[in-house]
Amino acid sequence: MERFAFRALPHRPKGQCFTRKLMKKDEIREILTNDINSFRLKAEYYKSIHLFEAAKYADELASNIELALTTMGSDSDTEIA
Protein backbone atom coordinates (compact mmCIF):
# COMPACT_ATOMS: atom_id res chain seq x y z
CA MET A 1 0.00 0.00 0.00
CA GLU A 2 1.31 3.45 -0.91
CA ARG A 3 1.95 6.12 1.64
CA PHE A 4 1.33 9.73 0.88
CA ALA A 5 3.37 12.61 2.22
CA PHE A 6 1.46 15.65 3.30
CA ARG A 7 2.97 19.10 3.42
CA ALA A 8 2.51 21.06 6.58
CA LEU A 9 0.90 24.47 6.45
CA PRO A 10 3.33 27.39 6.64
CA HIS A 11 4.22 28.35 10.18
CA ARG A 12 2.90 31.64 11.46
CA PRO A 13 4.28 33.51 14.45
CA LYS A 14 2.31 33.25 17.66
CA GLY A 15 -0.40 35.88 17.95
CA GLN A 16 -0.80 36.41 14.23
CA CYS A 17 -3.78 35.13 12.37
CA PHE A 18 -4.63 34.91 8.72
CA THR A 19 -7.29 37.41 7.78
CA ARG A 20 -9.97 36.51 5.31
CA LYS A 21 -11.13 39.13 2.82
CA LEU A 22 -14.78 38.87 1.95
CA MET A 23 -15.55 39.43 -1.69
CA LYS A 24 -18.26 41.84 -2.72
CA LYS A 25 -21.18 40.63 -4.78
CA ASP A 26 -20.06 42.63 -7.81
CA GLU A 27 -16.60 41.02 -7.65
CA ILE A 28 -18.20 37.58 -7.57
CA ARG A 29 -20.49 38.56 -10.44
CA GLU A 30 -17.48 39.64 -12.53
CA ILE A 31 -15.67 36.36 -11.87
CA LEU A 32 -18.74 34.32 -12.78
CA THR A 33 -19.26 36.35 -15.97
CA ASN A 34 -15.66 35.61 -16.95
CA ASP A 35 -16.23 31.93 -16.20
CA ILE A 36 -19.33 31.90 -18.42
CA ASN A 37 -17.39 33.45 -21.29
CA SER A 38 -14.55 30.99 -20.75
CA PHE A 39 -16.84 27.96 -20.84
CA ARG A 40 -18.59 29.26 -23.97
CA LEU A 41 -15.21 29.62 -25.69
CA LYS A 42 -14.22 26.13 -24.58
CA ALA A 43 -17.50 24.77 -25.97
CA GLU A 44 -16.76 26.36 -29.36
CA TYR A 45 -13.24 24.94 -29.32
CA TYR A 46 -14.46 21.45 -28.40
CA LYS A 47 -17.00 21.58 -31.24
CA SER A 48 -14.25 22.57 -33.67
CA ILE A 49 -12.21 19.47 -32.81
CA HIS A 50 -15.29 17.23 -32.78
CA LEU A 51 -15.47 16.63 -29.03
CA PHE A 52 -19.23 17.02 -28.95
CA GLU A 53 -19.81 15.58 -25.47
CA ALA A 54 -17.25 17.95 -23.96
CA ALA A 55 -18.78 20.84 -25.89
CA LYS A 56 -22.22 19.96 -24.59
CA TYR A 57 -20.93 19.73 -21.02
CA ALA A 58 -19.11 23.09 -21.23
CA ASP A 59 -22.15 24.77 -22.76
CA GLU A 60 -24.49 23.36 -20.10
CA LEU A 61 -22.09 24.42 -17.36
CA ALA A 62 -22.05 27.96 -18.75
CA SER A 63 -25.85 27.95 -18.88
CA ASN A 64 -26.12 26.77 -15.27
CA ILE A 65 -23.73 29.45 -14.04
CA GLU A 66 -25.65 32.02 -16.06
CA LEU A 67 -28.90 30.89 -14.44
CA ALA A 68 -27.34 31.18 -10.98
CA LEU A 69 -26.06 34.63 -11.86
CA THR A 70 -29.57 35.85 -12.67
CA THR A 71 -30.73 35.12 -9.12
CA MET A 72 -27.69 36.63 -7.43
CA GLY A 73 -27.96 40.11 -5.99
CA SER A 74 -25.55 42.97 -6.49
CA ASP A 75 -23.90 45.44 -4.16
CA SER A 76 -26.33 48.19 -5.16
CA ASP A 77 -29.37 46.16 -4.01
CA THR A 78 -31.07 47.36 -0.85
CA GLU A 79 -31.00 44.97 2.11
CA ILE A 80 -34.36 43.48 3.03
CA ALA A 81 -34.98 43.50 6.78
Using DSSP's 3-state secondary structure scheme, residue 75 falls into coil
- C-alpha to C-alpha distance for 73 and 21, rounded to whole angstroms: 19
pTM above threshold 0.75: no
First to last CA, the chain: 56
- C-alpha to C-alpha distance for 24 and 75, rounded to whole angstroms: 7
The amino acid occupying position 16 is Q
Distance of CA 30 to the CA centre of its chain: 10
Q: Which residues does the chain have with pLDDT short of 50?
A: 1-2, 4-6
Residue 73: count of CB within 10 angstroms of its CB: 12
Q: What pLDDT, on the 0 to 100 scale, is given for residue 12?
A: 57
